[in-house]
Amino acid sequence: MKRILIFIFLLISISITSSTVSALQLENLKLNGFFDLQYQWAYSNNSHGDTQGSFEQHHFNILLEMPVNNRISVKGHIEFEHSPKICGDCTPPAGSGDVNIEWAYFEYLVNNNSRLRGGAMLTPFGLYNEIHDATPTYVFTRIPWGIYRPDLVGGTAMFPKFSTGLALLGEYFPESDFDLNYTFYIANGENDTKNEAELDENNNKAVGGRIMMSPIYGLSVGGSFYNGEKGVSKASHSTWAGSLEYLRPPFHIQAEYASSNLSKVNEISWYGEVSYLLKKATPYIRYAKLDPDNKKPNDEWSALIYGFAYKFQPNVILKIENRMNTGSSNNIVIPDNFNEAAASIAIAF
């Protein structure tokens, strides 16, 4: 069935692109991006976090969009993370920075409410993955690690951050207050070592999607799912998440619950966060929890994060926060507790 879906997607893609491509107009090129500088310091007396305190030039990202004609556009996102250095006479050590293609795809406008996307993309999952690194778009300095980076706090990735394949996405806006947006995709899935944008390590293709509904103004609820096989081991991997967002200034509330099953290991994570807009300042708080294996005792991680963001200008945001991490004795990354402070400036351009 998955192979049939692939061929259908490819036939549609070939037919629509071959019939509508025209000469490019460089003046139509759209270019923007974002930058952030962070400082963090683990001030509790243990071996976790950055106990020395360090500045980190985390992101310098360039986003491009080139309309080919009135229906087709090509989009790209280049990330320079941790200020990478390129030189001919040095051996890059671990942590020397990264240059990544966050996404590179075409989009075809099927009609006013739906698009076909093909290429490498950030996996449409939950509220945060598609804005994973875009720090000017959210008030916290980090996304919720329990769901989106569990590998950093003792867990295993719940889904691939990136997916290469084909996706159908769109919106539905009837005359009532109800509206809906959706994304369904078929992709290579998770590889063990190779780049998912280049080759698949098994003949299985991953499928997934996300549906978000807004039954009343300001409230969005929905869910995401992912199903595939991981790398050469072909270990089955399925994940689902429920999401809730309430955005009605001055309140902004988000909460998500996710459950992942990989090789019979069930991993669970959830978080809730609240922010409150006071003119240019936005205080915020988040509580997050991860259970890497719900059959294994004393392996949980949790964090209480609170701080505030101050918007100097519409595109310039200062963030200051405190993070109280709690680790259990069997957690493989954080087996005890530690606190850290962080500050950042994020600029969109």
Question: What is the CATH classification number for the domain harbouring 178?
Answer: 2.40.160.10
* Segment among 6-20, 55-69, 105-119 with least mean pLDDT: 6-20
Contact (CB, 8 A) for 213 and 192: no
Residue 170 has pLDDT above 80, yes or no: yes
Asked if pLDDT for residue 91 goes beyond 70, the answer is: no
Q: Answer yes or no: is pLDDT of 92 > 70.
A: no
Rounded Cα distance between 212 and 27, Å, is 35
Residue 111 falls inside a structural domain: yes
Q: Is residue 232 part of a domain?
A: yes
Task: Flag whether 165 is in a domain.
Answer: yes
When the pLDDT of each residue in the chain is averaged and rounded to a whole number, the result is 90
Give CA–CA dist 129/149, Å, rounded.
Answer: 10
Q: What is the structure's pLDDT at 177? A: 76
Domain count, the chain: 1
Q: What one-character-per-residue DSSP string does 229-286 give? A: EETTTTEEEEEEEEEEEEEETTEEEEEEEEEEEETTEEEEEEEEEEEE-BTTEEEEEE
What sign for the dihedral angle of Cα 168, 102, 157, 257? negative
AA letter at 269: S
The reply to whether omega before 297 is within 30° of 0 (cis) is: no
Does 32 reside within a domain?
no
Q: Where does residue 295 rank: exposed (0-12), middle (13-18), buried (19+ CB within 10 A)?
A: exposed
What is the spatial distance between Cα 150 and Cα 300, in angstroms, rounded to a whole number? 11
**Structural domain harbouring 289:** 2-13+99-348
Give the integer Cα–Cα distance in Å for 134 and 109: 25
Percent of the chain with pLDDT over 70: 89
For 284, residues 6+ apart whose C-beta sits below 8 A from its C-beta are 139, 140, 273, 274, 275, 276, 306, 307, 308, 309, 321
Q: What is the pTM of this model?
A: 0.89
Q: Is the pLDDT of residue 38 over 90?
A: yes
The strand pairing partners of 61, in sequence order, are: 34, 79
Q: What is the mean pLDDT of residues 187-191?
A: 95
Percentage with pLDDT > 90 across the chain: 79
Mean pLDDT of 210-220: 95
Asked whether the predicted pLDDT for residue 86 surpasses 80, the reply is no
Q: What is the pLDDT of residue 347?
A: 98
User: Does a structural domain hold residue 304?
Assistant: yes
Is 31 a domain residue?
Answer: no
| Structural domain includes residue 94 | no
pLDDT bucket at 19, cuts 50 / 70 / 90: very low
Q: How far is Cα of residue 56 from the mean position of the Cα atoms in its chain?
A: 20
What's the pLDDT band for 28 if we cut at 50, 70, 90?
confident
Whether residue 208 is contained in a domain is answered as: yes
pLDDT tens-place string over residues 99-140? 999 999 999 999 989 999 999 999 999 999 999 999 999 999
Q: How far apart are CA 79 and CA 240, in angstroms?
A: 28
Q: Tell me what the mean pLDDT of segment 211-221 comes to.
A: 95
Q: What is the b/e burial string over 142-153, where b = at least 16 CB atoms within 10 angstroms of the residue's CB? A: bbbbbbbbbeeb
